[in-house]
Amino acid sequence: MITGIPKNERWFLWALLAWILLALGPGLQLASKPVFIGYFPLLYVYSVVMFFIGLWLCYMAGYKLKFTVMPDDLENENEE
């Protein structure tokens, strides 16, 4: 366990990496084409979708995967 994350929860790191690349990196350039979805430019729709995916990733990290809970072995090291 190099990353400190169990194997069954490593999908989150790949999802986070994909979100970073799509929401903040080259994905923005792909979404900035002059294409309209209904009355809205593709970039507006893309930004809203990426915002909600980011909220979902925060929810998964904080509540489902319990990244906000300090492991017992780390808590005991800080007390000494």
Range from 3-7, 22-26, 47-51, 65-69 carrying the lowest mean pLDDT: 3-7
Distance in angstroms (rounded) separating the CA atoms of residues 20 and 41: 21
The answer to whether residue 3 sits within a structural domain is no
Give the C-alpha separation, 77 to 50, whole Å: 38
Closest CA to 30 of 48, 47, 15: 47
Q: What's the pLDDT score for residue 51?
A: 95
- Domain hosting 56: range is 32-68
Average pLDDT score over residue span 27-56: 91
Residue 61, in any domain of the structure:
yes
Number of structural domains the chain divides into: 1
Residue 56, domain member (yes or no): yes
**Assigned domain for 62 exists:** yes
Q: How far apart are CA 25 and CA 18, in angstroms?
A: 10
Contacts of residue 60, defined as CB under 8 A and 6 or more positions apart, other chains included, come to 12
| Structure confidence at residue 45 as a pLDDT band (50, 70, 90) | very high
Q: Is residue 50 part of a domain?
A: yes
- State mean pLDDT over 40-53: 93
